[in-house]
Structure 1
């Protein structure tokens, strides 16, 4: 008999710092309308900031978020395929079984310190009555509590490197066999299934139209059913508890990136191939420094900034990055190569598109981090492998990827999405500097942004200095009239004495040499054409 499964598809409006919410009625294969509203007000719980918002899978800033229920209370958590543990910042009055056993979840961007507790957890139609989690008291990771979320929900597996919760509790016989991550407990409830999750991520830049995101446990999103016909890609190395795979090749606008020149840090990786981890919890993407520079130095008009080690990219770039995995090419939408960043500079906005990918030179289990900038372009099936008595092992785990990006259509989306995004800011592209958008200093727009009741000169200033200004103007006018009359009288007398004589013009037309080239006028359709490449590798 087929066990109950649960899946949903949601429509997401991707606006920075706007949270999308759905009603609690979920039907399989049914698209749910979402209501957009501002992030919920924050509450204080000791040193931890928490939120009481509800919702399903949605995009908040650069995180992808879902709602879970813990001991009857709703929490909004970022889903993360790069880790295994569940940690929460709970309110002061939250009741749960606290072991008082200290632990620390460590991430590349910071730590989450707390004590291990147990509670009933419901997620994706499944319920685990006694789920271990980290009840945090100190968090140094950005982009979670500071944007109104409650925690992190790990969707990875243990492999040879178990979760911190598991490794901590397994030392105490009191909690034997109670330390599994949530998904492992779910898979134990469904022994007849293949133990997988399916994820597609929306692109928040699609602000004028809704974008689809989906998450499912042990069931495929029917919109992406074709993924069953794609290659099964085994994990590599497959024993480190990570969703990492071999990268066969990469190219930018058809130019191959010579991966053979940069050997992998991962032991056993074939020559000419790199290892990438697929991580929904990582914003953008990261690559080895030379790969990173090769990508952006081959985008026309891109400029390297040594100060913050990033690239300024033309906002209307249509360059296509392609990644080959399992023998298949996956094009990356140009919208995922750069993000709009607006910096207020006095009375105007100095706005640029900055590289979404970053440099990463770590020695360890992988060479690249394929975060949201890659995962928005694919529907991904994370297959945990077959259940063996309790937790699934990583040895036979794999992924399958269905490409969602058409290179030709993606280039067209740059104008309909990215340029529309610029237009919504009500700040036109500056033709003298295509990377700068915004009203010039002293423009009407700058005045409109003044505080209420303010103006370039107040009524009190006019009343105070008005009479003085008028008096000075009158005196100046009188002096000018006197001087004009005196000058006219002197000219008449001088002319009577000497008579008139012809004068030659004191102005001559400047000659333009025939070999001079006129500057091309700004072309709205191709504002970055013929720019020389500012960065070259030695």
Structure 2
């Protein structure tokens, strides 16, 4: 009997030892917790020599933007995930230039038209592109939710690169005031006497960001505007704007306005894809932070409010409303040395940056970018194995761009010449349009966990909109860059474009945590406390209302650039 027990315990011990040494089974996604949804961002890669499918982390050279699958009008298709804009659009089967695309197109015959055309503009004065079509409504399903009768655009003309990358459109995650579609729909509803408003009916374009939409609701205030009571027109307009968000706003704004999320927030982590596989799983979280990440660990920066963008309510006259996910920046540093402030814009403009998942690069003032390139080397080139660190001081905390995301190989087969993933853009003009100088695209976002909190959309002063950042760049990122370059030389003859790491079929459960304590695959948790968690007025909200629930699998797709 003793021998049998000894054998039993020996067998059990070996089994446990074997289990401990075995890789952890992949966690299934999408995952729904008490307060939110968490989805891995996966990638369908379009490579130069054929296709490749898998999760993010493939080492492919077109690692520039991210998307997920959404169903519109019964058609499931990938859409670019874009925090830099607020409009939802999908290419329709009426688009003549879209016929060669391999992605499913929206059947315009099933469209519920709103009787309005729209022309959406992207980029800046150097890189502007457009997407034009019809405004209408249909049910939209994404990230485990169904949004009924969502306004969007069925596009029949575009010169963007979206379709060339395997996506069918763009899903904007910005604020309602920044939505061209909402502006037009609201203008027609608020002032019906303006029949079939043109795309310019509620917009104002300024010399800087010549292709960027910037809202102007003041033209809706005229002697012919409808007065529903004896209050001034501005008060009527403000109440109508805020009341419209629940039914007419962009998708996430509607979710916030109807308390469909436990907390009015979404969180994005992006996996690195070039030179070396990144430390974080690419995850989109709705309604809460990923498990194991406390709000107190993030640096929370206020989102810029624009005075006059929307008249403040009479009972709270000092309100300023946000237009875009734009945060303030203390300073910018290259390899520890501060870069000068731009001389192309007024010193009275507080330095700020747009946080933009739809931007494949980092963009800054032309004179500052020129200084940056001069410090890097002749012609802005440098050996690919030389790590450089571009860092942004935000809220008193330095957030570096990982050297593996900062550098871009300029010539295939040669690692002697890399350039920075930084280009110039328009400088802001005081009091005209957007005031940000920098655009922080995917090279920055792949080195942070970024939480976008809408706050109180009616009274921002009560619960301000904010962005929380947690750096995921490891302390030895420079060494990791050199190691990745050495591996590329050994295996590909000096061509990091071809350096590929096999993709996993799912996101593994982390026994501990990933880089800088960010979990690779968050297990379910309850509510999150502290600033940036559930929010002042949202703690008692249901996590996801049943009327919005469907299921989605996310997908990330490389994009050579929206613009």
Under a length normalisation based on structure 2, what TM-score does the superposition of the two structures give? 0.60
Pick one of 78, 87, 90 that aligns with 1:88: 90
- State the match for 1:7 in structure 2: 38
- State the match for 1:383 in structure 2: 453
Distance 1:13 1:211 in 2: 18
Give yes or no for the alignment of 1:236 onto 2:238: no
Pick one of 155, 164, 171 that aligns with 1:146: 164
- Structure of larger gyration radius: 1
Distance 1:210 1:252 in 2: 23
- State the match for 2:200 in structure 1: none
Secondary structure of 1:241's aligned partner: strand
Give yes or no for the alignment of 1:416 onto 2:475: no
- State the match for 1:195 in structure 2: 264
The alpha-carbon deviation at position 34 of structure 1 amounts to 7.8
* Change beyond 3 A, Cα 1:16–1:276: farther
Give yes or no for the alignment of 1:113 onto 2:118: no
Q: Is the 8 A contact 2:118 2:133 kept in 1?
A: yes
Secondary structure of 1:63's aligned partner: coil
- State the match for 1:275 in structure 2: 352
Q: Is the 8 A contact 1:265 1:367 kept in 2?
A: no
Pick one of 353, 368, 372 that aligns with 2:438: 368
Segments of structure 1 that go 5 or more residues without pairing to the other structure are 23-32, 39-58, 305-310, 430-436, 438-538
1:76-126 per-residue CA deviation (whole Å, 9 max, x = no partner) reads: 011111110001013354522123411111112311100002111011111
The alpha-carbon deviation at position 380 of structure 1 amounts to 0.5
Distance 1:394 1:16 in 2: 48
- State the match for 2:67 in structure 1: 65
Within 5 Å, give how 1:45-444 maps onto structure 2: 61-91=63-93, 93=107, 95-108=110-123, 109-142=128-161, 144-158=162-176, 161-173=177-189, 177=244, 178-190=247-259, 193-206=262-275, 212-222=281-291, 225-238=293-306, 239-259=321-341, 262=343, 264-265=345-346, 268-269=349-350, 274-299=351-376, 302-304=377-379, 311-342=380-411, 352-364=417-429, 365=434, 366-388=436-458, 396-406=464-474, 408-427=475-494
* Change beyond 3 A, Cα 1:14–1:402: farther
* Change beyond 3 A, Cα 1:151–1:353: same
- State the match for 2:15 in structure 1: none
* Change beyond 3 A, Cα 1:395–1:287: farther
Distance 1:210 1:256 in 2: 27
Q: Is the 8 A contact 1:14 1:207 kept in 2?
A: no
The alpha-carbon deviation at position 285 of structure 1 amounts to 0.3
The alpha-carbon deviation at position 141 of structure 1 amounts to 1.7
1:357-401 per-residue CA deviation (whole Å, 9 max, x = no partner) reads: 012233342111111121111111111112549xx8998211110
1:246-280 per-residue CA deviation (whole Å, 9 max, x = no partner) reads: 11112222222233x647558552xxxx2111111
Distance 2:53 2:476 in 1: 29
The alpha-carbon deviation at position 320 of structure 1 amounts to 1.6
Distance 2:76 2:352 in 1: 37
Within 5 Å, give how 1:460-479 maps onto structure 2: none
Distance 2:322 2:149 in 1: 26
The alpha-carbon deviation at position 211 of structure 1 amounts to 5.5
Q: Tell me the C-alpha RMSD between the 2 structures.
A: 3.5
Higher RCO structure, 1 or 2 (CA under 8 Å, sep 6+): 2
1:298-326 per-residue CA deviation (whole Å, 9 max, x = no partner) reads: 33xx221xxxxxx2221111122221000
* Change beyond 3 A, Cα 1:235–1:388: closer
Secondary structure of 1:380's aligned partner: strand
The alpha-carbon deviation at position 221 of structure 1 amounts to 1.8
Secondary structure of 2:281's aligned partner: strand
The alpha-carbon deviation at position 220 of structure 1 amounts to 1.4
Distance 1:324 1:414 in 2: 23
Segments of structure 2 that go 5 or more residues without pairing to the other structure are 1-32, 95-106, 197-239, 307-320, 499-563
